[in-house]
Amino acid sequence: MMRWRRHDGEKGAALVEMAIVLPLLIVLVFGIVEYGLLFKEKLTIAAATSSAARTGATMGNREAADIRILQALEAGLFDQVDSKVLISVDIFRADPDTGAKIGTEVDSYEFNIELACHWDPCPDPAVDPHTFGDPSGWPPEDRTTTLNAAGGGLDLLGIEVSYHHTAVTGLIPGVDRDLVERALIRLEPDVFEITTPSTP
């Protein structure tokens, strides 16, 4: 009888332990899944933002620069190309020392799959009418791609992507939130300006 009672007591203790540990284990597993998906999305968008910046550097001050930047971003986002994910994209002139946006020299775009070029406003020169950002503070024609003899003179291009990560389970606080990815790159020179010192 004593042996049977001890066995029943062990079963009861195991059930109590399971009741304590199981919720913690479930939260841990969901946390791993939620943060894994968050980091996957973050890495995907960071890589796409860098790719868009490289495209912008090569496009320089060409009229189609902004639409090519946005198309490169779309191509790198794969399944994240969604108006529920993408909030806005800013193409801006960055301060060479701090990387911050310079005044109003920013072109802002919002993703909209229903539009012909997928962006509002549409900066595609092939579409009439087209607008460089809302408001348009740094159209492609204003970007400096002339390299001076001192090795400077080129604008620093910034791409800032604001997006929303939606939690899958909703059990882990702080996962469902707005995030920002940013990339900075120097524009590639189209023109080399050689200056020689003047003789008296």
Domain boundaries, the chain: 2-192
pLDDT at 1: 46
User: Quick one: pLDDT at residue 199?
Assistant: 53
Enter the tokens of residue 135: 């408001």
Tell me which residues of the chain have a pLDDT lower than 50.
Answer: 1-2, 4
Contacts of residue 62, Cβ cutoff 8 Å, sequence gap at least 6:
140
Residue 184: its pLDDT value, please?
97
SS3 content of the chain, % helix, strand, coil (to 5): 40, 25, 40
pTM of the model: 0.82
Query: What is the distance between the alpha carbons of residues 99 and 53, in angstroms, rounded to a whole number?
Result: 14
Give residue 198's pLDDT.
52
Return the half-sphere exposure (C-beta side, CA atoms, 13 A cut-off) of residue 186: 11
